[in-house]
């Protein structure tokens, strides 16, 4: 209902079907590391603010030397994604052992890059609505790893403190964030200026590969890299979405009281007021969301419906009992 709006400071370089068909190594089914290095060079040539890799480099492979060199040339602007973080906040980038002093975090630092967590935990219905600021052992003094959206925003100069979990302010459904094909990037078909001063996230956009349900997907799924892009935009905006539990509680109480008007109004008028109250509340909830406040819609409407059933049912039962009384 709010509509879609593509951010101007975010771009996705998608590894799509055409990319896999043209570039994937038949033996491994993945894009060669040397080719991935070429993409980083091409994006950095356009002076991107951040290059976020939603590609898990968890093992050493041929072509790593070229990839390492490209990361170094980007001079501290590359964020390397990982979904494996131990209790010490370290990871296994390029097969490094996080239990040693040469773990993934230290090795990334030697390349002038930083690792960041790209995993996510869905809500009970399977949809992704939140992202954390960091992951790791949740005890005082423990070293934690920032998530890619937070780290990407920080590298642009945005000051973001630690937080537990934040709502993702989705800009729209799948395809809302501007997207270029990885194949077009490595073959030089995209003018480098299209990346200037932007957060550029690289990841899979092939249907069915790293795709997840979201509340913005309209029943379909959204590529993980685009979810990260929406989360990065949310971080850049200072985590705008918030809830006010007191508002939810007040709405449940107030809508639950509306059917009591049937005690002073004719039932038909009271029913119309109930329907009008539901419509007005939905409009207010949408207006609140447009202004970054999330209010519950399901529970207040359930309170209205259950209260209406109780009140109108009681009145109907009362009339039925009166009608059955014998006349004197």
CA distance 242 to 283: 18
Distances (CA, A) of 221 to 47, 172, 212: 31, 12, 5
Same domain? 168 vs 258: no
Examine the fold and report which residue of 194, 211, 236 is the final residue of a domain before the chain moves on.
236
Same domain? 200 vs 267: no
Contact 115, 147 (CB under 8 A): no
Same domain? 133 vs 282: no
Q: How do beta strands 50-53 and 78-82 pair?
A: parallel
Percent of the chain with pLDDT over 90: 73
Give me the pLDDT at residue 247, please: 93
**Radius of gyration over alpha carbons of the chain, in Å?**
26
Mean pLDDT of 152-181: 93
Q: In what order do the strands lie in the sheet with 50-53?
A: 114-117, 78-82, 50-53, 199-204, 10-15, 179-181
Boundaries of domain holding 259: 242-324
CA distance 206 to 255: 45
CA distance 202 to 255: 47
Q: How do beta strands 50-53 and 211-212 pair?
A: unpaired
Examine the fold and report which residue of 202, 217, 236 is the final residue of a domain before the chain moves on.
236
Reported as a single tens digit per residue, the pLDDT across 103-142 is: 888 999 999 999 999 988 899 989 999 999 998 876 666 7
CA distance 201 to 40: 11
Helices (H), 76-147: 104-110
The span from the first CA to the last CA of the chain, in angstroms, equals 60
Q: How many domains does the chain have?
A: 2
Distances (CA, A) of 228 to 15, 100, 107, 117: 15, 30, 24, 10
Mean pLDDT of 47-64: 94
Q: With a cut of 90, say whether residue 327 has pLDDT above it.
A: no
**pLDDT-derived band at 244, boundaries 50, 70, 90:** confident
Give me the pLDDT at residue 188, please: 94
Whether 1 is covered by a domain: the verdict is no
Reported as a single tens digit per residue, the pLDDT across 181-202 is: 999 999 999 998 999 999 999 9
Name the residue among 173, 131, 151, 176 with its Cα closest to residue 7: 176
Whether 2 is covered by a domain: the verdict is no
Same domain? 263 vs 203: no
Same domain? 204 vs 304: no
E-state strands within 187-291: 199-204, 211-212, 222-223, 242-243
Q: With a cut of 70, say whether residue 31 has pLDDT above it.
A: yes
The phi-psi region of residue 179 (left if phi > 0; otherwise alpha if psi is between -120 and 50; otherwise beta) is: beta
Which residues lie closer than 8 Å to 323 by C-beta, 6 or more apart?
none
Mean pLDDT of 142-162: 92
């Amino acid at each position: 209902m709010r509509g879609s709006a593509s951010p101007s400071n975010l771009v996705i370089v998608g590894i799509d079907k055409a990319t896999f068909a043209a570039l994937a190594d038949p033996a491994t089914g993945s894009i060669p590391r040397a080719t991935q290095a070429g993409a980083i060079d091409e994006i950095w040539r356009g002076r991107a603010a951040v290059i976020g890799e939603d590609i898990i480099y968890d093992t050493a492979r041929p072509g790593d030397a070229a990839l390492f060199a490209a990361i170094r040339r980007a001079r501290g602007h590359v964020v390397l994604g990982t979904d494996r973080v131990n209790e010490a906040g370290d990871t296994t980038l390029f097969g490094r052992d996080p239990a040693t002093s040469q773990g993934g975090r230290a090795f990334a630092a030697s390349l002038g890059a930083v690792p960041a967590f790209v995993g996510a935990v869905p809500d009970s219905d399977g949809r992704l609505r939140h992202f954390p600021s960091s992951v790791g052992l949740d005890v005082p003094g423990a070293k934690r790893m920032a998530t890619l959206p937070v780290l990407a925003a920080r590298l642009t100069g945005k000051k973001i403190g630690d937080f537990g979990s934040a709502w993702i302010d989705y800009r729209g459904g799948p395809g809302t964030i501007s997207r270029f094909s990885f194949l077009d990037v490595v073959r030089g078909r995209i003018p480098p200026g299209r990346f200037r001063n932007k957060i550029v996230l690289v990841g899979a956009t092939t249907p069915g590969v790293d795709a997840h349900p979201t509340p913005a997907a309209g029943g379909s799924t959204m590529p993980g890299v685009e979810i990260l892009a929406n989360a990065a935009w949310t971080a850049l905006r200072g985590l705008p979405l918030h809830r006010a539990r007191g508002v939810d509680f007040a709405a449940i109480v107030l809508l639950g009281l509306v059917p009591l008007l049937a005690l002073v109004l004719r039932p038909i008028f009271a029913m119309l007021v109930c329907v009008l109250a539901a419509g007005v509340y939905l409009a207010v909830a949408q207006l609140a969301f447009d202004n970054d406040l999330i209010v519950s819609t399901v529970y207040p409407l359930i309170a209205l419906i259950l209260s209406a059933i109780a009140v109108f049912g009681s009145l109907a039962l009362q009339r039925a009992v009166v009608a059955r009384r014998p006349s004197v």
